[in-house]
Amino acid sequence: MRTLASFAPPGTRLLLLNSFLATVPMGFLMVVVPLYLARIGHEPAFIGLLFVISGLVSSLLVAFSGILADRFGRVRFLVAGTALPITSYAILALTTDPAWLVVAAGLGGVGLANGAAGAMTVASYDALLAERTDPRTRTRVFASAQALWNLALAVGAATAGIPQLLREHGVGDVASYRPAFVAAIAIGVLATASILPLRERSHQVVRRTGWLPRASGRAIAMYSLAIGLLGFGLGVAVQLMPLWFSERFGVGEADLAPWYAVAQLSSIASVALVPWLERRFGAGRSIMAMQLGSGVILAAMVGLPAFWLAALFYLGRSFLTNVSWPFQQSLFMSTVAPQERGAAAGIGFAVWGVTNAIGPGVAGVLIGTGVLALPLLAGAVAYGAAGIVFGLGLARIHAARAPAAVPVFTIPPPEPLP
């Protein structure tokens, strides 16, 4: 098997390292935050509201961030977006005041949308990764990025049981979480430092006659529809899943941590699986099959009688969804015009952020009132619809553009800077 170094230049490896480090705290927080907030006395509706705020802030800023990053430098935006969650981790470590928790949600560190930080990083990261890869290896590099992202989530999730262990040794409820929040600050600093050597490529500075990405309008519209459906499915069915497991089966962080870690570790197989699926079935059909399968699994989880069985189904959903992401990213970045990639990613993520923000708000209300089936069923429908739009919509646009797009993907000579 070819090593990462054989098809990823130094700049690409810096991007992958940055993503890995920045994602480790997210793996811990995605398990802990809903249960932590419930433990300190907040209702499910307020917990869902924090995720809504995170998603809305991200979606309101991300489209503008993408356009500005294309104009003024994607590396600058990535550095700023990586550093911003450090403030949120500090807030979580220092206070339980609801007003400050709202600030933390808006800045980043709460929810997968990641607030303002998510807006700044997503507008730059995929575009930077795409411009530093050859079209022949782009899907492989995106699969490697996805695998490292999963590994980072697994590392973070594996530590989610630490607060419970500290409480068993006499540490108070709030104090038991503080060491992990402090560790997240340290990791955030390292993630920011890792990207500082990266330099903007002067020949990649965008020269467009307007601010809007008109050349890629049809592809962006189709992608936005698909990613919007996916965002809602993730928000309503998955982001508050730890709380759903707790309400349904009475489990805590220590029970969930190993399952969440294994879910992410199993998805590392996408590095080998994605290239094979691309050769055998193509991106469009692969995405459609994975997302339809994820929807079926979510619907089936509603009636499962035991925690271990529901957790196994969750592993399957996580695997299928994570395998589909490299296809989605690579397909989209290869379909839009290179000079519009930052703006395109920003607009798509803005739609994802809005729908993703709505989902936890709906799920929080439903879980708080004891209606546990509807969040998963709504997510199942959204996942399936997203897969169909990807497979029958965006993939066809890419196929229609491919012959004319070959000259667009000419890679400039490598530079000495990463």
Based on its alpha-carbon atoms, the radius of gyration of the chain, rounded to whole angstroms, reads: 20
Q: Which of 71-85, 109-123, 275-289, 293-307 has the lowest mean pLDDT?
A: 109-123
Q: Residue 19 domain-assigned?
A: yes
Q: Residue 418 domain-assigned?
A: no
- Answer yes or no: are the C-beta atoms of 161 and 253 closer than 8 Å: yes
Q: Report the distance separating Cα 185 and Cα 408, nearest Å.
A: 41
163: its two tokens: 């607060």
pLDDT of residue 270: 67
Q: Residue 102 domain-assigned?
A: yes
pLDDT of residue 206: 47
Q: Residue 207 domain-assigned?
A: no
- Answer yes or no: are the C-beta atoms of 119 and 62 closer than 8 Å: yes
Mean pLDDT of 184-197: 92
pLDDT of residue 229: 93
pLDDT of residue 8: 57
Mean pLDDT of 205-217: 57
pLDDT of residue 308: 94
The domain that holds 352 is classified in CATH as 1.20.1250.20
Q: Residue 167 domain-assigned?
A: yes
Q: Residue 97 domain-assigned?
A: yes
Q: Residue 294 domain-assigned?
A: yes
Kindly tell me the number of DSSP H helices and DSSP E strands found in the chain: 19, 0
pLDDT in tens, 378-411: 999 999 999 898 888 777 777 776 544 333 332 2
- The model's pTM is 0.69
Sequence-separated (6 or more) residues with CB below 8 Å from residue 267:
146, 147, 150, 318, 319, 322, 323
Q: Residue 1 domain-assigned?
A: no
pLDDT in tens, 326-341: 788 777 877 777 777 7
Parent domain of 288: 10-200+215-406
DSSP string, 21-50: HHHHHHHHHHHHHHHHHHHTT--HHHHHHH
Sequence-separated (6 or more) residues with CB below 8 Å from residue 178:
93
314: its two tokens: 């969750």
| DSSP-derived secondary structure letter, 413 | P
Domains in the chain, number: 1
Task: Please determine, for residue 208, whether its predicted confidence score (pLDDT) is greater than 60.
Answer: no
Higher pLDDT, residue 35 or 206: 35
pLDDT of residue 59: 77
pLDDT in tens, 334-382: 777 777 776 777 777 778 878 888 888 888 889 888 889 999 999 999 9
280 confidence band (pLDDT: 50, 70, 90):
confident
